[in-house]
Amino acid sequence: MIEAHGYIWWFAWTFFSCAQIWTGRYLVHWWKWRVFAHSALGGLITLLTIATTIIVAIYMSNKLQCNHLHNCSGIILTIICFMLLL
């Protein structure tokens, strides 16, 4: 199950974030659809980030530790996503 968080993060932060940037850049003439698609993709990225953090927290028995660069960057990105969600 812990491997799933890597795949989910990859799709969220590579595929969906590129799609979000694309909607903001190239859908200028269809601004109503651009705003909807851009917001929906941003919300999806945020929800996937939070879901993967929950997966890792459950796997690690609710002990999120900042003892490696990988762990620290994941925690920081999750905090940023929470701030963007508000």
What integer pLDDT is reported at residue 16 of this predicted model?
92
What integer pLDDT is reported at residue 62 of this predicted model?
66
Domain range annotation of the chain = 2-85
What integer pLDDT is reported at residue 58 of this predicted model?
83
Instruction: Output DSSP code: residue 60.
Output: T
What integer pLDDT is reported at residue 44 of this predicted model?
92
Q: What is the pLDDT along the chain (86 residues), one digit of tens a residue?
A: 678 888 888 888 899 989 998 988 888 888 888 899 999 999 999 899 888 888 888 887 767 777 888 888 888 888 887 787 77
What integer pLDDT is reported at residue 56 of this predicted model?
84
